[in-house]
Amino acid sequence: MAKFFSRLISLLLRKENRQTKTAEEQINPVQSYNLLFGRKKDFMDKQVNKTNDANCFTNRELSWLQFNERCLNEAGNPAVPLAERLTFASIFQTNLDEFFMVRVGSIMDQRDADPDYRENKTNMTSSEQISAILRRVKALEKKKAKIYEQLMGELEPKGIRIINFNKLSKQEGELLEKYFDKNIAPYLSPMVISKAQPFPFLNNKELYAMVMLKNRNDKQRIGIVPCTNSVFKRLIEIPSRPGNFMLSEELILHFASKLYRKYEVLEKTIIRVTRNADIDTEEAYDEELEYREAMEHLIKQRKRLNPVRIELSRELSKGARADLSKLLKTGLSHVIKVDTPLDLKFVFQLQDYLRNKPELFFDKRSPRQSCQLNAKEKLIPQIEKKDVLLSYPFNDMKAFIRLLHEAAEDDSVVSIKMTLYRVAERSKIIEALVEAAENGKEVDVLIELRARFDEENNIEMSRRLEYAGCNVIYGLPGLKVHSKLCLITRKINGEVSYITQIGTGNYNEKTSKLYTDLSLITANQDIGAEGAKVFGALLMGETVQDMNHLFVAPNCLQNRILEMMDDEIKKAKDGKEGYIGAKINSLTDKKIIKKLIEASKAGVKIELIVRGICCLKPGIPEQTDNITIISIVGRYLEHSRIYRFGKGEEEKIYIASADFMTRNTVRRVEIGVPIYDEGIKNRIRHIFDTGMLDDEKGKMQSREGLYVDRDLHHEGGKLNSQEIFFREAYEEAEKAGITATD
């Protein structure tokens, strides 16, 4: 019945509502019903709630593309040093590659498995999402081309140019031809596609020259030349022009006729294929193989999954595009013309040529030792006296690594337990755990072999840990273990004593200098006891069901967050001040989003710092008008997760490994820890509040879901939160007489 009236109203008012209007200007179903029939029904109340909620949602994939556009904007931002803008251009491309490999690949799989499936935010089918993604990506590629051209233009006065044959003299062209004949052509493997030579497998993200050929009998063929080669350089310097370069793939394409002397070259382009990387890691639990061996098998399979995108450096005729699409078994819409080099990794080589111009780079920043710890004294006794918070990259991770080495040598330490998701290739964390095992400590490590794109490194680390005598487990069926938890267990005078570390980021020394993260180290025995319960469950292949202090997904994180939000809603309804704050990477969990909408309607003030995907729109009257959302994209990747509930003495603050995404809140093992130390609470409030005031790298989301600049008129100009935190770390270290640790 509700559907009938909804359709009837829609038909009667279609003409009036056909004009483009913002969400708040649209006549909603209840208003329409009253206009037409002069009365309201209960079921119509449900319809308006459903419709209004829908106005508050943004599609996950399109929201992520907005985030990547903010990365691209930094490449075009004149306030960012020129050489660093090259990095942002490369980051945009790397992000987009992974987006196609993971998200587009999984949506294509979903489309093929169930064409009628609709995502739960904007009700788009998989096909509709793919079409919208491809349209947006093609527009972003045009934007990237303009920014790239601008960057190259600004590099010219600095003595750096990427040129093509049209800008070479005849003599220079002859020199490059000799270089090609001697240093490149002998190492190429050109092939012609025929019945005897099938179309080759094109490796993921590698470059190939593709030429459309015609022989003497007017038969057309396709030629393929792999251009990715470790023998010759990607950047070829013009001998007569220092600082002027040509890309090796462009040189190969230019002299393609020399590789196919029996053919006429009709068309040519560089192509790059992006392949689906969405492997089903749960299959590993069904194999007869040992789990680690099964994961290695799946990783090999991933390299051969179907293409999800084909990039071209030059336009091809409609027939050639159709042939290529057919050969690679992907739709024509997935073939994208790109007006920049198809692989931008060479920009880091350009940066090497610019190192003698420091003004083109960010000022050097290096982590400082935390002033909360005395480096000349043992760490464990200091932690027993007070909780410690490390804030990366402003503080150095070396303090935590030193704690592990100290535990490895401490006679009172019985065991060390850790969850590892991503670690550095030459991990000092692994070295410390190996040392502990070799010293006779019990070392239990859950290393997640399904950490996407880190599987091979984690497999290697698991072997190294096992060889040293550590007890290694690989995770739980159906649940990735994404928590950041370390538990040091000691025996003091016959009693158990814990030192617990819980963080927002990985145990990775490299990313700790690039990502903003928080790490709490505490001797709180209640937290330690609950950490022990978490490990006890994991070692049994289970998850904990309830906790008094910790938030632990999948069973007691989302529900606890919703309860905390309900408390703030009740305060607001009772006439008190309700407040919710969260700093997260992504917001997609529909239950949490709906609760935020409910809280906003009740009058709760909500402040969100969401770096990437955000499926909620703020500022919609009577829906989300009490919600403010900003996103910070700066020199360092915002990665810390902070939850805040309430104000003043009643405020509860947590840091956690979990974003507000369903995959984190109910499909993974995640950890959130309450902050009890008042000094640390104030520090986290400062981090959060300063982020909310960032109007240099922080963009505010509008009610239309767009990200806009803002000027909060700070004394001294725009506020950059990351720079403030580094300045504060430097000043604190200077007062304490601490120098750089690098």
User: What is the rounded end-to-end Cα distance, in angstroms, of the chain?
Assistant: 70
Q: For residues 210 and 271, is the Cβ–Cβ distance under 8 A?
A: yes
Q: What is the largest CA-CA distance in the chain?
A: 92
Measured between alpha carbons, how far is 597 from 299 in angstroms, rounded to an integer?
41
Q: Which amino acid is at 129?
A: Q
Q: Which amino acid is at 321?
A: R
Measured between alpha carbons, how far is 391 from 683 in angstroms, rounded to an integer?
10
Which neighbouring-strand residues pair with 246?
Answer: 236
Measured between alpha carbons, how far is 336 from 316 in angstroms, rounded to an integer?
11
Measured between alpha carbons, how far is 593 from 606 in angstroms, rounded to an integer?
12
Residue 642, both tokens:
């902070």
Residue 25 per-residue DSSP state: G
Residue 643, both tokens:
């939850």
Residue 198 per-residue DSSP state: P
Q: For residues 81 and 359, is the Cβ–Cβ distance under 8 A?
A: yes
Residue 447, both tokens:
């290393």
3-state secondary structure 371-382: CCCCCCCCHHHH
Q: For residues 167 and 254, is the Cβ–Cβ distance under 8 A?
A: no
Measured between alpha carbons, how far is 215 from 257 in angstroms, rounded to an integer?
12
**Among the residues of 603-677, which ranges form H helices?**
662-665
Q: For residues 448 and 482, is the Cβ–Cβ distance under 8 A?
A: yes
Q: Name the catalytic one among 482, 549, 639, 714.
A: 482
Contacting residues for 555 by C-beta, under 8 A, at least 6 apart: 543, 544, 545, 546
From residue 663, give the alpha-carbon distance in Å to each of 11, 274, 627, 659: 39, 25, 24, 9
Q: Is 482 marked active-site?
A: yes
Measured between alpha carbons, how far is 702 from 699 in angstroms, rounded to an integer?
9
Which candidate, 238, 78, 242, 96, places its Cα nearest to that of 150? 78
The angle subtended at Cα 164 by Cα 91 and Cα 257, nearest 5°, is 110
Cα torsion 258, 263, 264, 267: sign: negative
Tell me how long the chain is: 742
Neighbours of 221 (CB within 10 A): 17
Measured between alpha carbons, how far is 363 from 720 in angstroms, rounded to an integer?
14
Exposed / middle / buried, residue 627 (Cβ in 10 Å: 0-12, 13-18, 19+): buried
Which candidate, 474, 440, 436, places its Cα nearest to that of 455? 474
Strand, helix or coil for residue 58: coil
Measured between alpha carbons, how far is 235 from 244 in angstroms, rounded to an integer?
9
Which candidate, 202, 204, 206, 251, places its Cα nearest to that of 222? 202
Residue 127, both tokens:
């096909």
Task: Give me the active site residues, please.
Answer: 482
